[in-house]
Each structure stands twice: as C-alpha cells, then as structure tokens.
Chain A
Amino acid sequence: NAGVTQTPKFRILKIGQSMTLQCTQDMNHNYMYWYRQDPGMGLKLIYYSVGAGITDKGEVPNGYNVSRSTTEDFPLRLELAAPSQTSVYFCASSYDRANEKLFFGSGTQLSVL
C-alpha cells in the first residue's frame, strides 16, 4: 500500500530557479492538499483540491501554483524560487468528509540558496 508518495525527498535550488514537487496517491481520494512547514513551526496550507480540475488557495499561496489533471496527481509548482520558500513540503489526501482522516506523504525538504 503506497498511500501518498512525494518526490523528490530533498532538493536544493538556486534563487530564481523553478521546480515541481510531485505528489501522487493511490487511494482514489478526491481531496488533496499541500502544506509547508518551516523549522520549529506548524503546518501552513498552501493549496488544496477537491477533485480533478478544481483547486483553491489556502493560507499561504503566493509564489506557488498547482494543477489537478487527474485524481491521483497533485503537483506543486514553484516559480522563481526565493529563500523564503526554504521549507519542508507535505502533500496530503483524504476522503471527502470532515470526519475522515488525512493521509500525509513523507515530505520534500527544499532549500533555496
């Protein structure tokens, strides 16, 4: 059972570079989320999706873009990387009810230098 898979696990970017963080889930969940976690802090919601073709902003969307062309995949795009985007990024998915639990990936540690 793969669950939620994130790639890569680690990445170093130079300022101004772009990259895509990949997230895929094999549980047929409609709902998917991207969070970032800065050192010693809680998680902040970047974007979420309620199904293929439907995405919406979370708490800290600036500097990021998402797309959802399939149920399984929810990539996060960083354009013009900045040092402030140095963080650990977590993707999560869930069934479409408030009493359902979230399943998290193992995270991508990103450093922008």
Chain B
Amino acid sequence: DAKTTQPNSMESNEEEPVHLPCNHSTISGTDYIHWYRQLPSQGPEYVIHGLTSNVNNRMASLAIAEDRKSSTLILHRATLRDAAVYYCILRDKYNFNKFYFGSGTKLNVKP
C-alpha cells in the first residue's frame, strides 16, 4: 500500500498562509492524493483531492509536484478554526477500498 510521510506538527500565525507538506515517493500513476482534517473530538472531514494538476476549492489549494512524489496543502489565511490534524492519503484508482491514514500533521494556529 502506498505510504505517505508528513511532519508530526507545524505551527502558524493567524491570518498567515500555511503550507503542509506530504511525501509520497512510492505513489503509482493511478493514485489520487486526498487530504482530510480532523478537528478536536470530531470525525475527519474532506479538504481536497487531486491527481496531477493543482487544485483549488473554498477551503484550500493542493499543489502537486511534477513527479507526483510530493504534494503541499495550502491554507491561504489560517484561522484558529483551522487548528486540526491534517492527513494526506492515497487512493488507488483500481484498488481504492484499502487506504490508510497515517499519523498526520497537527497544525497549531497562534492568535
């Protein structure tokens, strides 16, 4: 199963951009890159996903390296409500039922 590697924790100031990195050097050509976040005492919630091209939505942007071995989740203006654990996972197009969450990155946002 394709694995991802993320820093254990990161810190940001409120109203500043945050770049959360994820390494996935063993990614296959059919893996989609997904990001989820988990607020304290809640279930994970979807943030964004992509395959090859950079993606934007109302929550965040996803920048995918040209070789697809890494990606970066970008929160353009961090708020206190963005403090959460962010998970980067891979879902294979043909075997997407078995996918695993790693330990994620705990983001702390300072006022």
Contacts and interface: CB of A to CB of B under 8 A. Distances in A.
A42 B98 contact: no
Task: Specify the main secondary structure of chain B where it touches its partner.
Answer: loop
A97 B45 contact: no
A102 B43 CA distance: 11
Q: Which of B30, B92, B93, B96 has the most CB of A within 10 A?
A: B96
Interface in B73-111: 87, 91-94, 96-104
Interface string B16-36: 000000000000001110101
A98 B92 contact: yes
Contact of A99 (B32, B43, B45, B101): B32
Nearest to B1: A59
Nearest to B30: A98
A98 B29 CA distance: 13
Contacts of B93: 98-99
A104 interface: yes
Nearest to A104: B43
Q: Which of B43, B44, B94, B101 has the most CB of A within 10 A?
A: B43
A25 to B, nearest CB: 13
Nearest to B34: A101
Interface in A22-46: 31, 35, 41-45
B42 A43 contact: no
Contact of B91 (A98, A103, A104): A98
Interface of B: 30-32, 34, 36, 42-46, 49, 51, 87, 91-94, 96-104
Given A41-B103, A48-B98, A58-B98, 6 more contacts: A42-B103, A43-B87, A92-B44, A99-B91, A101-B34, A107-B43
Interface of A: 31, 35, 41-45, 48, 50, 56, 58-59, 90, 92, 97-99, 101-107
